[in-house]
Amino acid sequence: MPMSWADSVSAVENPAGAPSKSAYVPPHLRNRPSADPPAQASYAGPSALGNDHSGYGVPNVVGSRWSGQRNEYQSDYAGGGGRGGGWNGRSGGGWDRGRDREVNPFTDDDSEPVGEQESSGINFDAYEDIPVETSGDNVPPPVNTFADIDLGQAVNENIRRCKYVKPTPVQRHTIPISLAGRDLMACAQTGSGKTAAFCFPIISGIMRGQFPRPPRPRVAFPLALILSPTRELSCQIHDEAKKFSYQTGVKVVVAYGGAPINQQLRELERGVHILVATPGRLVDLLERARVSLQMIRYLALDEADRMLDMGFEPQIRKIVQQMDMPPPGVRQTMLFSATFPKEIQRLASDFLSNYIFLAVGRVGSSTDLIVQRVEYVQETDKRSHLMDLLHAQRDNSVNGKQALTLVFVETKKGADALEHWLCMNGFPATAIHGDRTQQEREYALRSFKTGNTPILVATDVAARGLDIPHVAHVVNFDLPNDIDDYVHRIGRTGRAGKTGLATAFFNENNSSLARSLSDLMQEANQEVPAWLSRFAARSTYGGKNRRGGGRFGGRDFRRDSSYNRGATDYYGGGGANMNSGYASGGYNTSSYGAAAGVTSAWD
């Protein structure tokens, strides 16, 4: 009988009763040192913060909204209640022991990719002429190199370990904005390095800041909260953040649904500076009073438009507005996505204070990195058409290794059925969707990443954020209803300067998407088939086709004349500290890159 995930985790915790087959361990708990010392000796974040590896021995706060409060705080914030109170002293030696115990995330081969995983091979030329547009008050100028940014020695060392040679455009612009303490809504193409763009300033800010001691034991008081919509994405952000914060003393913990909560509670009790979480599990932890948000200084929402879409909005409002989190203007808030529909921007502005809007890159995820093809395929022909594509791909395999192909379908049942059919026909495939257990989801992802099953059939649960190297082909077997979902799906390929292919199967059922798809492809200089243009000419934008970005995935809604007329409506009661410059029409916009001065089909 297969062992459940919960059983397998408790088997890890109770080795005496462990079954002979290897037990499943959640990703964020893998590669932990085998002998776990008592909690009080395990991690002493605050002493690390004082253990100056970062060049911050002398307060050197760059425009942080916390700089003025340094002296009010104790110097030894520990990030969590801890057990036994071993969290307080810089001189207690806990950090040194803690640091020794810190697992080196750069040697983690947990998800060994098909080929070598190198960042240095990134083709930055692909980003040279990317259009960038900022709006807002007193926008800090972009930087050109990591050396131009004062992130501290320890973070710089981790950047080197990551093999990041220079910042991507979104990093060049957002990091100075965030380090200046400004709120931010950033809309940048898929695969362009947004994760590091919000992680670096948070880590650096926590390293240089001084924070009060958590007031209650056994309750976690994170300083930063990063929310994302899926479990896999939260795990991925956690992994990335651990790399960026290695040996900085900043402790990152992840909490997500589908995993045993007790394990996560124990992690939280050991101390946390940065909590990465999915909204549902976080609400659970808040309701159990095991996490308090009262010390939050940084709030980042990844895939922010998804987080504020109908499904998640109530939970996000609860977390951000109805618990004990400091209000906008006190905390620093950063929202990131590749797409930002205007109505979502309006909602989001409730969470922000005098923010800067940044748009980087074209719609369709990247300039010419993703070749987009649309083929007219009747429902009944889709399987055989897919088979043809896969056969062609198999013929083109390099060194016997088949390129990774991600196939998006509409329903969970459809995913199961297509996976089964592919396997029956000799194509090693696996599937990921919301009805699979977390263990199955993780196995599927891992099996795909390592190339054991080079075809992954997925629902939209895999559409956003997942950074899987070597995905060469994204097939929209079923097209989504929303063009923004299409943008995120195809963005699973063509990442970080690499090229990719996206094929969509289109038929009458997708008529409502025709116009936005055809416009998007034109914007991205893709060949639009004549038949699709005819479909587009016949259709209007459906209610769900709400793109408003033109060359970008979104444009600042405050630029709309309707916004200036009705500014108070949007901000009434939201607590936003609106800069008078916007409402009075004196708002600043600047464009960088090849194409300054914006004209857009959607405005």
| Residues near ligand ATP, by CB under 6 A | 119, 122, 164, 167-168, 171, 188, 190-196, 338, 465, 467, 491, 495-496
Q: For the CB of residue 455, give the shortest distance to ligand ATP in the complex, in Å.
A: 20
Residue listed under structure tokens 């979902």: 485
Shortest distance, CB of residue 196 to ligand ATP, whole angstroms?
5
Output helix, strand, coil percentages for the chain, rounded to the nearest 5: 40, 15, 45
Residue 465 and residue 231 in contact, taking contact as beta carbons nearer than 8 Å: no
Residue with Cβ nearer ligand ATP (147 or 330) = 147
Task: Pick the closer one to ligand ATP by CB: 82 or 279.
Answer: 279
State which amino acid sits at residue 53: H
Q: Which is nearer to ligand ATP, 279 or 491 (CB)?
A: 491
Nearest to 169 by CA among 497, 465, 463, 501: 497
Nearest distance in Å: CB 336, ligand ATP: 7
Q: Which two tokens stand for residue 286?
A: 């808040």
Computed from CA positions of residues 87, 92, 95, 101, in that sequence, does the dihedral angle turn out positive or negative?
negative
CB 197, CB 358: distance < 8 Å: no
CB 276 within 8 A of CB 204: no
Nearer to ligand ATP by Cβ, of 170 and 415: the residue is 170
Residue number, 306 or 342, with CB nearest to ligand ATP:
306
266 burial (CB, 10 Å; 0-12 / 13-18 / 19+) is: middle
Q: How near is the Cβ of 475 to ligand ATP at its closest, in Å?
A: 17
Nearer to ligand ATP among residue 165 and residue 601 (C-beta): 165
Minimum distance of ligand ATP from residue 165's CB (angstroms): 6
Least CB distance from residue 20 to ligand ATP, whole Å? 37
Q: In what order do the strands lie in the sheet with 132-135?
A: 252-255, 274-277, 224-227, 298-302, 332-337, 184-188, 356-360, 132-135, 589-592
Shortest Cβ distance from residue 442 to ligand ATP (Å)?
18
Torsion, Cα of 100, 106, 112, 118 (10° steps) = -170
**Which is closer to ligand ATP, CB of 7 or CB of 148?**
148
> E-strand spans in 184-258?
184-188, 224-227, 252-255
Token pair for residue 384? 């055989």
Closest approach, Cβ 434 to ligand ATP, in A, equals 19
Quick one: which H or E segment has residue 420? Answer: helix 412-424
Name the residue nearer to ligand ATP (CB basis): 78 or 241. 241
